[in-house]
Amino acid sequence: MKRIITGLALASAAALVTAAPAQAAPKNPVAAVKKQFVAGHGVKFVDRATISSGGVRDIVARRTGTYEFGKSGVKSSDITGKFAFKASDFGDEADSEFVKALTTPERAIKVGKSTYLSGGLWSTLVPDGSTWLKVPGTTIGGVTDVYGQPLNITELATLKTLLKGAKPAAGGYAGKITVRDLREVSTSFRAAQWLNKPKAKTLKSVISWRITLDARGLPTRLVSTFPGTALASDAPKGLILSVDTRFTGWGSKVSIKAPNTDEVTTNLEDGQKIPDSLTLPLGSIAH
């Protein structure tokens, strides 16, 4: 086993997958996804983020989630994420409360104009007696959100932009987009970069992707791979990350509610603050 222990400030997530030879054009996924925007219905997804360098590869984070739709798009979401890091990857800080929290699952529920955060890092920020931290807006989707799928195909504007320069591939489409162009069109991608404002080198990073569709034209899989510079301009050369997302249950009934008010706080524990940057070890890369 070869270890790559390197610090990388969380910044954004983006993607890169090689396009396949031209194929017959499949159904239009924009129209198919738009038809799913029915109140009380939604879709489930599973994310797996991996990192590779020097010919070895390992998982960085996993997320599972549900989107609830309204007539114009995603109305609410409930996402649980967990880093694949072990406490021992943090060296001398392995026994700290912060590291123990960071290596446990976190959950983010977005309802209306508020986001509720629990577990993981957030468990160290809330006062005793409270479980959830309520923050205004949906600008924070959890720390693991940075390693989530950067290409949000439930945003019709984003999906349309991706398809503009895409080519038919086996079972779907493949294409590329820069971090800069994705930021311009995707609200969720900009929100995922809450820990760090991207620099010029990051904005120029190219995102390549591949989407697989079912017979109805609905996405069943989206794979995005990207150079480390898409996360941080000073990322090690040759560092590649990829996010593999599987979608299931399109059109299933979904009802996402805010946590009980007696478990929620809007105040941080005395002396605590939400971090504006965070450096993580990118874990062990196994053969």
Q: pLDDT tens, 79-94?
A: 999 998 877 777 777 7
Q: Dump pLDDT digits (tens) for 147-206.
A: 889 999 999 999 999 999 899 999 999 999 999 999 999 988 887 765 566 778 888 999
pTM: 0.83
272 domain-assigned: no
User: Which pLDDT score, from 0 to 100, does residue 9 have?
Assistant: 37
Question: Quick one: pLDDT at residue 275?
Answer: 62
The answer to whether residue 278 is domain-embedded is no
Q: Are 99 and 90 in contact (CB under 8 A)?
A: yes
Is position 3 within any domain?
no
Q: Would you say residue 165 lies in a domain?
A: yes
**Selection from 54, 56, 15 nearest residue 237 by Cα:** 54
Q: How far, CA to CA in Å, does 242 sit from each of 30, 43, 225?
A: 24, 22, 4
Task: Label residue 10 by pLDDT band (50, 70, 90).
Answer: very low
Alpha carbon of residue 217 to chain centroid: 23
Give the pLDDT of residue 17.
Answer: 36
Residue 159 lies in a domain: yes
pLDDT greater than 50 at residue 73: yes
Residue 44 in any domain: the answer is yes
Q: How confident is the model at residue 56 (pLDDT cuts 50, 70, 90)?
A: confident
Number of domains composing the chain: 1
- Could you tell me the residue range of the domain that residue 85 belongs to? 9-262
The predicted pLDDT at position 37 comes to 98
